[in-house]
Copies of this chain bind each other. A is one copy, B any other.
């Protein structure tokens, strides 16, 4: 059975029109109007493919194609929300390649022993609401539904539950735990491209710790306040940012550290900042090292604040331990790629993915394809059509194997 590039590339282009940015790229922040437009298109497309569509209380959407017998389905999935300056493929590829698998089964008049499902999970990015992987976390029971429904946007504008009601995607269906979970995703990094490989068989996911720091000092006149009498929240925040960078340098790869948010109040040229807010994103495949990195960062932040006469508060915006995928299923990904004469290697994921929420509940694996220049979360994110179709074919072959397809 074969996937069709006309169908899959067409679907990627159609969904890409929802939230398209001038100059390329997509902005479909979770539960925004453009996210609603993408969801509406997705639900209509699932129904066109003959699937039964379900929606749960956190807005996760999944479509089911019946099998010869009932029971736990083989589930494919990912997300359709994006960061503010996102690309066409991050998330969308995993959902739409799932629909392509369904379309290929339909076109071949194939039946499967087990049902086959495709899921799109709410707010995987965490760009508008923290934590990320919110929908799959609630679906798999790792996050509390009511707590997540009460989360306010990081920019203060909107609450998850209210936004779900506003866009009409607060459902009531009960999550279905699958027999296995497969997610096709762009690598979002430079490894496959550098190694000249077509497919990555993902062995697991880095642990992720997001911490928000708020430093409070005193605002004052920039000209008349001697340096010795200042309590400058911005200077403390700058020291925390450099401490995060130093931690990544000291620990070495795969440790990474990113300060993505850095805001001063009142934020005026000639006023000593009274308050500063910044976020630090730390990731490592080794959970113990990651715990040590976060503890060191917090200790250095507290020392910097104390030395400057400022007060400091910090809170975890996200804490995910490293995840290891099912070794047997990872082996099947490798084998399926090799059976199609595709070059493949085992590799960890540098990014968080919905798949990691399923790993504790059922055999789970991911398929990576190369990202041009390793770019993602960037309007210039791109993957070659050949790589996209190769990944989708491996996904189809795996589903046919796992679900027991016959024509």
Binding site for B on A (CB under 8 A): 83-85, 125-127, 130, 132, 154, 187-190, 206, 208, 210, 218-229, 232, 234-235, 237-239, 241-242, 245, 248-249, 253-264, 266-273, 276, 279, 281, 283, 317, 349-352, 374-378
A90 to chain B, nearest CB (A): 9
In the complex where A224-B376, A241-B238 touch, is A269 in contact with B350 (Cβ < 8 A)? no
Verify B188–A271 contact, CB threshold 8 A: no
Please state if A374 and B270 are interface contacts (CB–CB under 8 Å): no
Q: A130 to nearest B CB, angstroms?
A: 7
Which residues from B are CB-within-8-Å of A261? 264, 267-269
| 13 pairs from A and B in contact (CB 8 Å cutoff) | A127-B270, A127-B271, A132-B270, A189-B221, A190-B229, A221-B351, A221-B376, A224-B349, A235-B242, A237-B262, A242-B242, A258-B270, A260-B267
Chain B's closest residue to A191 (CB) is B224
**CA of A240 to CA of B376 in the docked complex: distance in angstroms?**
27
How many copies altogether?
2
- Chain B residues closer than 8 Å to A378, beta-carbon distance: 218-221
CB within 8 Å for A84 and B266 given contacts A227-B256, A378-B219: yes
Give chain B residues whose Cβ lies under 8 Å from the Cβ of A281. Answer: 222-223, 269-270
Cβ-neighbour of A260 out of B189, B218, B271 (below 8 A)? B271
Residue of B nearest to A318 (CB): B269
Within 8 Å CB of A154, what residues of B? 269
Judge whether A220 and B264 touch: CB under 8 Å: no
Taking the nearest CB of chain B, how far is it from the CB of A303, in angstroms? Answer: 15
CB-CB under 8 A from A242, the residues of chain B are 235, 238-239, 242
- A225 B266 Cβ-Cβ under 8 A: no
Question: Is there an interface contact between B375 and A220, defined as CB atoms closer than 8 Å?
Answer: yes
Measured CB to CB, the closest approach of chain B to A34, in angstroms, equals 16
Which listed residue, B229, B248, B271, touches A377 by the CB 8 Å rule? B271
B241 near A227: Cβ-Cβ < 8 Å = no
Closest to A244 in B: B235
Complex contact B266–A85 (CB within 8 A): yes
**CB-nearest residue of chain B relative to A252?**
B227
Q: Chain B residue with minimal CB distance to A128? A: B268
* A263 proximity list for chain B (CB < 8 A): 262-263, 267
Question: Considering only CB atoms, which chain B residue lies closest to A378 in the complex?
Answer: B219
Q: CA separation between A235 and B267, bound complex, in Å?
A: 18
Contact B127 A222 (CB under 8 A): no
Our pick among B218, B227, B258, B264 for the contact of A222 (Cβ within 8 Å) is B258
Closest 4 pairs between A and B when the two form their complex, measured CB to CB = A189-B224, A224-B350, A222-B258, A238-B241
Contacts of A234 in B (CB 8 A): 241, 259-260, 262
A205 and chain B: residue at smallest CB distance? B223
Chain B residues with Cβ under 8 A from A255's Cβ? 227
Q: Is the CB of A248 within 8 A of B227?
A: yes
* C-alpha gap A256/B229 in the complex (Å): 11
